[in-house]
């Protein structure tokens, strides 16, 4: 089976800013971006902020209650110019710090959307 574990961003054809997640319009230039402007990004990035959520809510993807507590982070993927937020595999805030490296964990069966990455994991001392 072909390894199709790719993360794509969109690169503005005018200013060169790389957006993740991909956008249809550059946030800075307001220039439209197309599929031709998609670029491969690293599955690794750098943690810029984090929290541990201890409050239950209905997960819009499943309709069921989201298990908690869970980690949630803001980070920038290598090669991207924008930040994104996603789930993190850590729930102990004392084990998280700004500047740590994170990596996408992919589902075995993928459909080509952000749900293919259930969470990012903290990389222990740059594996």
How far is 110 from 118, CA to CA, in rounded Å? 11
Angle of CA points 100, 68, 64, to nearest 5°: 125
Mean pLDDT in residue range 23-41: 95
Q: Which tops the pLDDT comparison, 25 or 125?
A: 25
pLDDT score of 97:
95
pLDDT score of 127:
55
Q: Which tops the pLDDT comparison, 84 or 115?
A: 84
Question: Over 60: is that where the pLDDT of 3 sits?
Answer: no
Question: Over 90: is that where the pLDDT of 114 sits?
Answer: no
Question: Over 80: is that where the pLDDT of 28 sits?
Answer: yes
Angle of CA points 32, 111, 12, to nearest 5°: 20
How far is 116 from 68, CA to CA, in rounded Å? 20
pLDDT in tens, 73-106: 999 999 999 999 999 999 999 999 999 999 999 9
Tokens 């990035």, residue located = 45
């Amino acid at each position: 089976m072909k390894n199709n574990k790719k993360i794509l961003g969109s690169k503005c054809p005018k200013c060169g800013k790389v957006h993740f997640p991909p956008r249809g319009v550059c946030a800075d230039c307001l220039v439209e971006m197309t599929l031709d402007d998609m670029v491969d990004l690293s599955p690794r990035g750098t943690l810029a902020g984090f929290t541990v959520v201890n409050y239950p809510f209905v997960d819009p993807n499943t309709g069921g209650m989201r298990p908690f507590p869970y980690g949630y982070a803001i980070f920038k993927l290598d090669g991207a110019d924008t930040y994104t937020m996603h789930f993190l595999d850590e729930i102990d805030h004392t084990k998280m710090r700004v500047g740590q490296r994170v990596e996408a964990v992919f589902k075995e069966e993928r459909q080509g959307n952000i749900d293919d990455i259930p969470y990012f994991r903290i990389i222990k001392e740059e594996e």
